[in-house]
Amino acid sequence: MQTAVKNYLPLFKLRICSLITFSAVVGLISTASANISITNILFLIIATMLASMSASCFNHYFDMDIDAVMQRTKTRPIPSGSIHSSKKILLIAILLFIASILISFKALNYMVGLHLFLGALVYAVIYTAWLKRKSWLNIIIGGLAGSFAVLAGGASAAAELCLLPVLLAITMFFWTPSHFWSFAIVH
């Protein structure tokens, strides 16, 4: 059991998911009035982590072939052989995604669910499965994925687009390419 958990944990990219979740909480705080509900914060954290973990699993699934040949990624769970069934990863990704959207809609509101849906969709499908293999400009669209977390956080306080979370999302969008291109130069 311990080995299975150890093998599956890297699928979730917990450090990255935690940063995305932190940005969602910042979006909430930037929009909320003086009375921030602890319950809203907890449900936002859970829903955002689940959506991010889902997108990460989809990324591992779609990139298993290129991860196997890239020095930085060849030790990931699928190419290294620590997880043998890519179908399990796809199932986990789908279940995490559904759980995230259901929690968003039931415990928060439809706008949170919409933003988390769009963030996961942009990252998993548009960035990972489509653009990453076709254009070096893919990261610009990839930056859009993380921006949706801030909007989800803002929407958890007010189910509409508010100025401050939109400005924070725009800042994240423009910051992401320079961050990733710097990372690419180093690695």
Terminal CA-to-CA distance of the chain, rounded, Å? Answer: 34
pTM of the model as a whole: 0.90
Q: What is the pLDDT of residue 131?
A: 87
Mean pLDDT of the chain: 90
| pLDDT bracket for residue 2 (50, 70, 90) | low
Given this structure, which CATH class describes domain 2-186? Answer: mainly alpha
| pLDDT bracket for residue 1 (50, 70, 90) | low
The pLDDT tens digits for 42-76 are: 999 999 999 999 999 999 999 999 888 888 888 88
CA-wise closest residue to 37 among 22, 20, 25: 25
Q: What is the mean pLDDT of residues 70-95?
A: 89
In the numeric block, the tokens 């449900």 are attached to 43
Residue spans of beta strands (DSSP E) within the chain = none
The pLDDT tens digits for 144-172 are: 898 999 999 999 998 888 888 889 989 98
Q: What is the pLDDT of residue 97?
A: 98
Residues 6+ apart with CB under 8 A from 6: none
- Bigger pLDDT: 180 vs 20: 20
Q: What is the mean pLDDT of residues 88-117?
A: 97
For residue 130, pLDDT over 80 is answered with yes
